[in-house]
Amino acid sequence: MINLLPLESWGFNGTFTLPRHATPKNPNDWSTEFRVVSPGYYPSLGITMWRGRDFSEKDVLGTQQVTIINDQFAKRYFGRENPIGQQIQIDNPGPVYTVMGVYSSNRQAGVAAPIDPEMDLSYLQIDPNSTWYTFSLVMPIAFVVRTGVSPETLTSAVQNALHELDPTQPIYEVQTMEEVRTHSLSGQRFALWLILTFAGLALVLAFVGVNGVMSYFVAQRTQEIGVRMALGASRLDILHLVLRRAVALTIIGTICGLMGALAAGSLIRSMLFGVSATDPIALGVAALLLAGMALWAAYLPALRAAKVDPLVALRYE
């Protein structure tokens, strides 16, 4: 069990000190997220324990108070020191916890959120007379069940087992971790569809705009095209004449678009995950897509120009 599942977009944090290290000038410089977990939580969720051990049923109130931290906490506050055996004090003056394990960091606050230092406590060592710790257990508790079959098939069995322990305990939001992940991405998913919609409209406008400009270009030079064809220019030559103009405009537009994308990248940085706002592959694919759309839009009037009858073009006004 845990009081806050991974990928939940909320939680609580606080400051701490390290008795064996110099205290920072600003106490708020040292802060961490807090979680309350039970023995067996980490293997149930497939979280790798890098060093040390998991909580056990022997880590109860009255024994040595222990904590497990994530590797982000270890790297930021202990550096190259071995974190196992180090001491952490919270609510100075307050209890001192000994680090007995370090686990692989997970994105506790959401897929797109940065990974923060985290300090986990065993619920078996929670002092019920402490207001701070009581607050940590007032929040809904999530039970995590690892299964070898489809999780949905065991929902009723798990609910019945919990009701046998406490029939009055409310059970709600039964969901798989895949559903938790999907829910955590709802905001980014909405923003993605919104951006895709506007991107699609931009492509349509680019197609219509380029097509209109090139159609106007062909209409303005219809007589010139007729003269060129009367003097021996082939249809391929006329096609190249129009497309060269389109290619020049497309290159200028693509460069301007890339500059605008780089300038506006910081506005969408918070909505990106696994890719930077200046990712060369993403920008390259977008530029190629837009350039291809523009050339396709230009090809249609260029093809019409290549099929013009020289006699009709010479009489065109």
Name which residue leads in pLDDT, 259 or 311.
259
Q: Residue 273 — pLDDT band, cuts 50, 70, 90? A: low
Residue 197 and residue 132 share a domain: no
Q: How many domains would you assign to the chain?
A: 2
pLDDT at 112: 67
Least confident of 52-61, 220-229, 251-260, 293-302: 220-229
**pLDDT level of residue 77 (50, 70, 90 thresholds):** very high
Are residues 210 and 297 located together in one domain of the fold?
Answer: yes
Verify that 135 and 190 share a domain, yes or no.
no
- Among 41-50, 194-203, 284-293, 301-310, the range with the most confident prediction by mean pLDDT is 41-50
pLDDT, tens digit, 9 for 90 and up, residues 16-62? 888 888 878 787 788 888 888 999 999 998 898 999 999 999 998 88
pLDDT of residue 236 exceeding 90, the answer is: no
pLDDT higher than threshold 60 for residue 317: no
Give a yes or no: residue 171 inside a domain.
no
Q: Is 51 left (phi over 0), alpha (psi -120 to 50) or beta?
A: beta
Same domain for 113 and 211, yes or no, is no
Mean pLDDT of 300-304: 77
Give tens-digit pLDDT for 92-119.
677 889 999 999 988 777 776 778 899 9
Measured distance CA(217)–CA(304) in Å, rounded: 12
Choosing from 124, 144, 164, the residue where a domain stops is 144
State the average pLDDT over residues 53-78: 92
191 and 305 share one domain: yes
pLDDT of residue 206: 81
The predicted pLDDT at position 52 comes to 92
For residue 234, the model assigns a pLDDT of 81
Q: Write down which residue in 144, 172, 194 finishes a domain.
A: 144
pLDDT in tens, 125-176: 887 776 555 555 566 788 888 888 888 888 888 889 888 988 888 888 888 8
Determine the structural domain holding residue 240 and report its residue range: 186-314
CB atoms within 10 A of CB 35: 22
How sure is the predictor about 264, in pLDDT bands with cuts at 50, 70 and 90? Answer: confident
Which residue stretches of the chain are H helix?
41-45, 71-78, 131-138, 155-165, 177-184, 186-220, 222-230, 235-268, 280-306, 310-314
* Residue 218: band (very low, low, confident or very high) from pLDDT cuts 50, 70, 90: confident
Q: How far is CA 182 from CA 49, 141, 197, in A?
A: 26, 20, 21
Q: Over pLDDT 90: what percentage of the chain?
A: 15
Tell me which of 280 and 81 has the higher pLDDT.
Answer: 81
What is the structure's pLDDT at 106? 81
Residue 3 in domain: no
176 belongs to a structural domain: no
For residues 254-269, give the mean pLDDT. Answer: 78
Looking at 89, 112, 144, the residue that finishes a domain is 144
Q: Output the pLDDT for position 137.
A: 56
Task: Tell whether the model's pLDDT for residue 214 goes beyond 90.
Answer: no
In a domain, 4, yes or no: no
140 and 193 part of one domain? no
Distance CA 97, CA 170 (A): 32
* Predicted pLDDT at 278: 76
What's the distance, Cα to Cα, between the start and end of the chain in Å? 82
The verdict on 199 and 121 lying in the same domain is: no
Percentage of the chain exceeding pLDDT 70: 88
Residue 84 has a pLDDT of 94
